[in-house]
Structure 1
Amino acid sequence: MSTSEAPNGPRPVTDWTDLGQEMWAYLTGKGAAVNYEFIDMAVEVPRDTGPEAPRATWKLNGTLRITTSDDQLPGADPHRG
């Protein structure tokens, strides 16, 4: 488990959502871009918890680019990153 600095001190990063929000907050305004390239990648996503849970298979083949900006779009929620 890692932590990041928040206004009230370090805050634990406990799941992928926390990690994504912390990365977005850190990179926003820095003109950052993160590129991932996937070649025939398959991800099994469980619908429920447990080893026997039904799964959906997501197939990825190509590039995913994530960019950040500190420009707000009209109607955008500033707390969602």
Structure 2
Amino acid sequence: MYTETRVPLVCSYDSDADAAYLYLDHPLPAAAVRRVVPFDPADGMSNLDLDADGRVVGLEILGAGRRLPPALLRAIRHPAEEQAGSD
């Protein structure tokens, strides 16, 4: 059976590093990430963060500017970054 649920998405974006982080557990307790699993072997540009029980607690996406939808990046950028980018 398929069930659709909507939950708030908590994410961050570092434009200097062009890296986004999507929190699947938030707030993420200190030292919660016990293992990092790289995926997308063609690029090696994404990592799954797992907790001690093997649950995925976060997703890091490097090269986010070209790999994520523009609307998502606009939504998570800090307003000061948006203004600086338009100068």
Determine if the TM-score, normalized by the shorter chain, exceeds 0.5: no
TM-score, length-scaled by structure 1: 0.26
Which one has a larger percent strand, Structure 1 or Structure 2? 1
TM-score of the aligned structures, taking structure 2 as reference length: 0.25
Q: In proportion to residue count, which structure has more helix?
A: 2
